[in-house]
Every structure is written in C-alpha cells, then in structure tokens.
A and B are shown apart, each in its own frame.
Chain A
Amino acid sequence: EAQVTQNPRYLITVTGKKLTVTCSQNMNHEYMSWYRQDPGLGLRQIYYSMNVEVTDKGDVPEGYKVSRKEKRNFPLILESPSPNQTSLYFCASSPFPGQGQETQYFGPGTRLLVL
C-alpha cells in the first residue's frame, strides 16, 4: 500500500530537548516536504526537498532542520524545541519533481507538545 508514515504520532517533550520526527514514503517520490498546522494559521511549509541531498526552506524554517540522505526518508529535527513549536506536523511526498506539488500524499500527522 502506498503511504507516508510518520513517527512518533504523539510526542510530549520539554524545552531544549532535541527531538527528531521521522518520515518515510514507499512510493519512490522525489519531492518531500514538512508542514505545520496551527489553528487560525492553516498549513505552513517548513522545509522541502526536491531530491536526495537537495533541501530548501519553506515559509517557516526557523528552529527546524532537515536532511535527505535517502530518497525514502526525510526526518525533521528540532535541535532545541520551544513552546511555540507546539503544533501538528505533517510530512508529504509527491511523484513529480518538475511540477513538484501535484498529488501530494500526506502522512497521518505528529502532534507535538513542548512544555
């Protein structure tokens, strides 16, 4: 089954404790991205990657890092989480690198609470 998986699904942590949210897709997609979703602000893109070793900033990259060492994986790293990073996070992937965005498949989401 074609899918995007994220782990963990729920995470409670404390300010400053480094964490990683993993994302994996089994569709051989080139394009992957991370979003955060907050009430009243909608979905905002954090980072995206057009291919292995190619990443770029979205609209809200501050406080986040990503890496793309393998085509299927695109982890999101919070080096020093702060309470304003409490949010619902989605990973997504797409099969069309040229167009980049068509038919994006989203993961189930990771709900993060930073105390």
Chain B
Amino acid sequence: EDQVTQSPEALRLQEGESSSLNCSYTVSGLRGLFWYRQDPGKGPEFLFTLYSAGEEKEKERLKATLTKKESFLHITAPKPEDSATYLCAVHGGSAAGNKLTFGGGTRVLVKP
C-alpha cells in the first residue's frame, strides 16, 4: 500500500526566512509525485508534478525536488502570502490503479 508522510506538520517562518518541507513516500513504482497548495476552506491548487529522481521544478519562490524516497519543497525568501498548507501526493504503480495517495500536509505560516 502506498504511503506518504510529510514533515514537519507545521512551520512558522519569518518573512524572508527560507526553509524546506519534506515528503517521504513508499510506493511500488512511482508514476508521479505531486505538490499542492491549499488555503483554508478552499480546494487544493496544483503546483508541481515530478516523475523521476533528480527532477526539479520551480515556480516563483517554490522549488520542488525528487529523490527515490522523498521530495522536498523549498521555499526561498517566503512572503506572508505563501502561508498555506502544502500537500504532497503520489500516484503509485500499476497495482494501485489510478489512485492518488496524499500526505497529511505541512501548515506554513509566514509572519511579516
């Protein structure tokens, strides 16, 4: 069974203080790893898809990287508007069909 664990559960940052979020996963053949941002009371918003170890993607102050066992979401010089819950999800091997398994998320609060 696919498993996804995110850490830390919560992260408080000062504006401009860079940090990284971790997503550890166990899957039988990774078909895709996804990062989403979720604001309170809203649906998740897609950020990135990573497919293979060594792959990196960037969007504004966010950069996602992937290894064989984990993914990192780096937030560089965050601003208060980066405050949100960040979710990681994996699409496992063929035995999992087309199910998507989410981690518990990391709540990020960026203080001015």
Q: B-contacting residues of A (Cβ < 8 Å)?
A: 4, 31, 33, 35, 40-45, 48, 50, 56, 58-59, 90, 92, 99-109
**Interface size of B in residues (CB-CB distance below 8 Å):** 22
The answer to whether A108 touches B98, judged by C-beta atoms less than 8 angstroms apart, is no
Question: What residues of chain B lie closer than 8 Å to A103, measured between beta carbons?
Answer: 46, 49
Ordered by A's residue number, 15 sampled pairs between the chains whose C-beta atoms are within 8 Å are A31-B98, A35-B102, A42-B103, A45-B99, A48-B98, A48-B100, A90-B44, A92-B43, A100-B98, A102-B32, A103-B46, A104-B34, A104-B46, A106-B44, A109-B43
Q: Does B59 contact A (CB under 8 A)?
A: no
Q: How far is the CA of A109 from the CA of B91 in the complex (A)?
A: 22
Question: What residues of chain A lie closer than 8 Å to B22, measured between beta carbons?
Answer: none
Neighbour of B32 across the interface among A45, A90, A101, CB < 8 A: A101
Q: Does B65 contact A (CB under 8 A)?
A: no
Q: Which 9 A-B pairs have the closest CB atoms?
A: A106-B43, A43-B102, A100-B98, A42-B104, A101-B91, A102-B49, A106-B44, A42-B102, A103-B46
Q: How far is the CA of A102 from the CA of B31 in the complex (A)?
A: 10
Q: Does B101 contact A (CB under 8 A)?
A: yes
* Known pairs A90-B43, A103-B49, A109-B43 / 6 extra A-B pairs, C-beta < 8 Å: A42-B103, A48-B99, A56-B97, A92-B43, A108-B42, A108-B43
Neighbour of B31 across the interface among A45, A56, A99, A109, CB < 8 A: A99
